[in-house]
Copies of this chain bind each other. A is one copy, B any other.
Amino acid sequence: MAEHEDPNARHNEKMAKKKAARDKIMATKTGEKGLIVVHTGKGKGKSTAAFGMIFRCIAHGMRCAVVQFIKGGMDTGERRLIEERFSDLCTFETMGEGFTWETQDRERDVANARAAWERAKELILDPEVKMVLLDELNIALRYDYIPVGEIVDFLKNEKPEMTHVVITGRNAKDELLEIADLATEMTMLAHPFRAGVKAQQGVEF
């Protein structure tokens, strides 16, 4: 077989071109800045991926913090692991009392959301803290427990330039998506609840 017909050679040539194109693009990406990251959508993985980013910071020895706006977005197992093993690197605050349909008390939800946001601002402004996860903030915004304009103003004007802020929750507001540097929508393609399987340890909590 002539060399130009060898499928391996063809594949390798294609990959060499791909690498050259990629290297060229990457060479133009030289800036660093603190990012506003949003995970939204109805699918799984919004809080889990954010939690993965917090562990990535911990792996690099970077100071970070988690503020849970609604209890139950992240698992108590995750909180326990952080508090028992990494409390020197990661501050963990649970301000909410459960999903809104569990509390059925709007005034209490508003007060909890306000307290969580005030604590979140302190952590974002702390120059030692490099990443702050605002878990399930989108739910508090959706029900207008906190005005989205207040959050957007703070992130645009007061967030330290190099600090990363990660925001999770379905139904992210457009105003927030507009200022996000990195926004990902998680969409459900298949779900075990359809087949009568309950939430299981390690997978969903």
**Is A29 touching B202 in the complex (CB atoms < 8 A)?**
no
Say yes or no: A53-B203 contact (C-beta < 8 A), given A28-B196, A35-B192.
yes
**Is A189 touching B180 in the complex (CB atoms < 8 A)?**
yes
Say which one of A42-50, A116-124, A152-160 lies at the interface with B: A42-50
Instruction: Give the residue name and chain of the B residue nearest to A186 (CB).
Output: B184
Copies of this subunit:
2
The CB with the most chain B CB atoms within 10 A, among A29, A75, A202, is that of A202
Q: Which residues of A come within 8 Å of B, CB atoms?
A: 7-8, 11-12, 15-16, 18-19, 22, 25-26, 28-33, 35, 37-41, 43-45, 47-53, 55-60, 62, 64, 75, 77-78, 80-81, 85, 100-107, 130-131, 143, 164, 177, 180-193, 195-203, 205
